[in-house]
Amino acid sequence: MGLSWKEGVLTILLGAAAASGLTTLILFLVEATSILLPADTKFGIVFDAGSSHTSLFVYKWPADKENNTGVVSQALACQAEGPGISSYTSDPALAGESLRGCLEEALALIPEAQHRETPTFLGATAGMRLLSQKNSSQAERIFAEVARVLSQSPVDFRGASLLAGLDEGAFAWITINYVLGSLLTYTFSGEWARPPEATLVGALDMGGASTQMSFVPGGPILDASTKASFILYGSSYSVYSHSYLCFGRDEVLNRLLARLVQVRPARAGRHSGLARHPCYHSGYRATVPLAPLFESPCVHTSMPPGAAQNLTVEGAGNPGACVSAIRELFNFSSCEGQADCTFDGVYQPLMQGRFYVEVSYPEHASWLRDYCASGLYILTLLLEGYGFSEETWPSIEFRRQAGGTDIGWTLGYMLNLTNMIPAKAPAMKQAENYGVWAAGIVLVGLTLGAILGAAAVQLLWPRD
């Protein structure tokens, strides 16, 4: 028996309603899927060109940032082969070539489609600062070669330049506080929040050519040249920061040895260089070239006249004399009677809270002779220079990493850079847009269903 015309029309209407409902459901699921998928990930590359070596770091963060700042994590750390770029004065092209290996590792990690939008920056620190003082043309040639290599790479190259000492210290402060969760923390309620200011820590970076001190003081920063200001995750910070060029470990050891050099007559009537080193263990004896000691701008004396090309170094094993020799490298008298002064007349407000110390120069077994001098230098710097005491010493922690992340200026630089990189609409705004869209889809579906239903009633039960 065939269907009546009313039943046929009703079947068509019901089919249309089912198709409409199915279409609405598909659209709903497609949009929900696009909303629930993880946000796009952005990447950034930073080269840290230090005095003794160059390191590359790759960072990543979700495209939808938190209060305009990315929630950044370290994705790769790579140490370039060879010494720091300031060592390539005789062949600047090698400075650029030394970066290729780590750069290739970074590009292999980052999706190829995102290479062109990946910001890449090289910041040179104290080693290149010293070279710029000594021979600016050599420094410029090295920067040119580094820029040539990086600009040829398929990335968004932002430049290769000197990083100011103030910025180096301040960015390191951002890094350690971010890694420790003192700038941003994820609460149990599933929201990002700013921790109490009391959780902030100070940062001490002890490198090969310089050392940096950075912290948020309890009062105002009276010297504007030591103040760095940031807005991170919607909060403002004023950080005291100062970099002491020539007070990194390598330069301190060079300056110390240069002060100990004496000229003595040799039996054959010729002169030779001799240094009796109180910090080297008794019985140590070695011959080293003399001229390189006096090439650094940190050494303010010239090579003694009549000295031979080589220097004979003899260890004396005298810790007391070692401390006295190291203290002579600091000008403590310039800060006598001043509570807000460290040494060499440098302003520093009163310290507060905990401090994390990053020792960023590499250790090597061949440097065993320098362990005594290095340790006593660190003690002198922290106790007599920066003003730590027996009571505040427990507030210092020595770290190279925290939470699996390298402590240094590079992560802080990238966090600050994310403030200037456009982001997608925040997740909350996407959710709001999705809610409006979903409500519109449901309303259209309900309206169509009501119309179809009314038509079906009119067909099946017409009025008399």
Nearest residue to 314 (alpha-carbon basis) of 354, 283, 360, 268: 283
Question: Considering just the CA atoms, what is the radius of gyration of the chain in Å?
Answer: 32
Residue identified by tokens 């910025």 is 167
Residue identified by tokens 């027996």 is 390
Helix, strand, or coil here: 152?
A: helix
Residue pair 311/275 in contact (Cβ under 8 Å)? The answer is yes
Dihedral sign for Cα 295, 299, 304, 309, please. negative
Q: What angle do CA 119, 125, 127 make, to 5 degrees?
A: 135
Q: Taking the CB of residue 101, how many other CB atoms lie within 10 A of it? A: 14
Token code pair at residue 281: 């263990």
Which long-range contacts link 31-39 to residues 24+ away (Cβ below 8 Å)? 31/434, 31/437, 31/438, 32/434, 32/438, 35/430, 35/431, 35/434, 38/62, 39/63, 39/64, 39/424, 39/427
**Which residues face 76 on adjacent strands?**
58
CA separation for the pair 389, 379 (Å, rounded): 10
CA separation for the pair 278, 263 (Å, rounded): 17
Token code pair at residue 418: 């994310």
How many angstroms separate the Cα of 75 from the Cα of each of 54, 165, 352, 406, 445?
17, 26, 33, 11, 46
Which residues does 440 contact at the CB level (< 8 Å), separation at least 6? none
- 168 flagged as catalytic: yes
Token code pair at residue 132: 């710029």
How many angstroms separate the Cα of 4 from the Cα of each of 14, 15, 55, 452?
15, 16, 82, 19
CA separation for the pair 126, 109 (Å, rounded): 30
CA separation for the pair 345, 270 (Å, rounded): 42
Residue 456 buriedness (CB in 10 A; 0-12 / 13-18 / 19+): middle
DSSP 232: E
The catalytic residue among 66, 145, 168, 358 is 168
CA separation for the pair 367, 292 (Å, rounded): 17
| First-to-last C-alpha distance (Å) of the chain | 27
Q: Active-site residues: which are they?
A: 168
